[in-house]
Amino acid sequence: MNEREIRQMVGEILIIGFDGLDVPSDVEKMIQEHGVGNVILFQRNIASASQLGNLTQTLQNAAMKAEHVAPLIICTDQENGTVGRLGSIVPGLPGNMALGATGSVDLAYRIGQETGRLLMSLGVNTNLAPVMDVNNNPENPVIGVRSFGDQPHRVALLSTAMFQGLQDTGVIACGKHFPGHGDTAVDSHRGLPVISHPRQRLEALEWVPFVHAIANGIDTLMTAHVVFPGIESDLNRPATLSSSVLTDLLRNELGFSGVMMTDCLEMDAIAKIVGVGRGAVEAVMAGADMVLVSHRRDRQMEAIEALVQAVLDQELSLNRLREAYQRVLSLKKRRLAWETRPIHHSEVFSPHQISETRRLQEDASRQAVTVLRMAPDFPKVPGQIQRVAVLHEATGPQWVASGPQDRRRLLADAVLLQLPEAEVDDLSYPGAWYLEDRDQLFSRLSQYDLILSGIDGIQNQPYVDLVHDLFSLSVPHAVILLRLPYDAIAFKEAPTLLAVYENTPWMVGAALRVLLGKSKGLGRLPVWVSDNCPRGFSAMSQPTHDKNPKNLEVQ
């Protein structure tokens, strides 16, 4: 086999990303001259439905012009909730932990199905979702509410329903991050996490959702940049680079026959340990079928050249590269077709269809809001609320996986939608208002009819202390946990406390409807927070009813 043919196979197993709303000339060159067969899109690439539709079509046209044997895989991370690349061009849908709070397999399937419909209409044929990690570590800085919860069998049921909903629309689904990223205290974007549990524990907990997904026909799985000493003896070798994990365990023992792709090799867990080029070679040698390099062109070329050279030097066997290449092509031929074109936007984004998506959004959000405590002065009568003080902490950490977010007026805007006649003061912390004399500040805040405090992390102790101090006022005060339900442990004295699992307008709006008596908080905690807030807890104590469209069971 000559070098040109080797390069063609290498291009077909590489996934690249780029900046901008249009296809750069160097990306077209990589598709046409280097045979790159796959693209990942982020928020930086998306401005509107028509723009995205044109972008994906331009990409496919470039591949067709280059006479690729199959269409490009065009993928994105539309996990919903806190991680969603489509932004505001489509109605948002609740993410995994919110769905975990509903306990509804039916909702998980429907949201997977609707997400797939929206993606396909825009020319995005692959979703790097769902997250199948079991989040059993409250300190986890990268998974958290991206997980369905901390019970492996519940995560298995909901994640399988989600990917089946996606795949039933024709979208390629990708479960992540094998063999589990839920019990880490290090973000693999910024370091190399280690999960030291013995194999028996991993088999009983971390692997359960993935085993269930394999049995139910998931298309692809994504590797975790996490070291597992219980499987891999080299403590500097994450799962992504480990043949013990990818070949011996996932392929041979668990019987996965689909496509294995890596998480992005530019994450520090790979880039700063072995480098992107070397990481690409070691990942494919270990058993990966696709390698993801999301950002820098120089690193993408580094991966291509490293893989080609490794084959020429006979370090990476030609058979291993050919196996990966053929597995990717087999998936494409089964799922994708050149004849497929995005559905006309006027149909997908018609008032009727948008209304249907919003109905699903509202239904799922209503079922997810979890009331952890409700004071007797709630719910409030909307007509009696004239002035609302909204507190939020503006300097909290943002998750790398979520991308850039503007959270400044999230709560205030949601209040204005529910109470359009009210005067709403958005009090960002830190702010000049906080520098007032304490008595003067309390006197000022006591004039409001309602105080809402948003909590998106509890690292800022002065802000947490301020919220606690305000409980002494006679003004009705509700604390809304905007992301992690684990933050409830810092607000044991809050008279009214709600968990919404994500800082999104639809979930905050659902919480406000509960506070105003327009809806009931039906959700239950999908994770264990404390003895006072155990898994399954709700102050409203409604029973839950699962609807199971696929008759899913976990053995």
What tens digit of pLDDT does each residue of 231-256 get? 998 988 999 999 999 999 999 999 99
What is the rounded average pLDDT of the residues 147-166?
A: 97
Lowest-pLDDT range of 65-79, 183-197, 479-493: 183-197
Pick 292 or 406 by higher pLDDT.
Answer: 292
Closest C-alpha to 491, from 512, 470, 520, 521: 470
Question: Is 263 designated active site?
Answer: yes
Question: With 0-12 CB in 10 A as exposed, 13-18 as middle and 19+ as buried, what is 254?
Answer: middle
Per the CB < 8 A criterion, the answer to whether 256 and 213 are in contact is no
Closest residue by Cα to residue 82 from 394, 512, 366, 506 = 506
Domains of the chain: 11-339 (3.20.20.300), 369-515 (3.40.50.1700)
Average pLDDT estimate for 29-43:
96
Where do we find the tokens 């080299």?
234
Rounded to 10 deg, the angle between the 297-312 and 3-12 helix axes is: 130
Is residue 268 part of the annotated active site? The answer reads: no
Q: Confidence band (pLDDT; 50, 70, 90) for 436?
A: confident
Helix residue ranges per DSSP H, 13-104:
25-33, 49-65, 96-102
| Weakest-pLDDT range from 33-47, 59-73, 336-350 | 336-350
Q: Beta strands 370-373 and 497-499: pairing type?
A: antiparallel
Catalytic residue, candidates 68, 177, 181, 189: 189
Burial (CB < 10 A; 0-12, 13-18, 19+), residue 255, is: exposed
Total residues found in the chain within this entry: 555
Per-residue pLDDT at 410 exceeds 50: yes
pLDDT, tens digit (0-9, with 9 covering 90-100), for 112-137 = 999 999 999 999 999 999 999 999 98
Q: Check residue 550 and give its pLDDT.
A: 46
Q: Is the pLDDT of residue 546 over 50?
A: no
DSSP category for residue 45: G
pTM exceeding the 0.85 threshold for the entire prediction: yes
Mean pLDDT of the chain: 91
pLDDT at 77 exceeding the cut of 80: yes
CA 24 to chain centre: 27
Q: Is the pLDDT of residue 348 over 90?
A: no
pLDDT at 400 (0 to 100): 55
From residue 407, how far is each of 224, 393, 404, 411 by CA, in Å?
Answer: 29, 9, 10, 8
Within 13 Å, how many C-alpha atoms sit on residue 239's CB side?
A: 29
- Taking alpha carbons only, the member of 192, 174, 183, 115 closest to residue 143 is 183
Catalytic residue among 133, 150, 187, 263: 263
Q: pLDDT tens-digit profile of 386-401?
A: 999 999 987 765 555 5
Determine the pLDDT at residue 199.
92
- The pLDDT score that the predictor gives to residue 555 is 40
pLDDT band at 184 (very low <50, low <70, confident <90, very high): confident
**Average pLDDT value for residue range 465-482:** 95
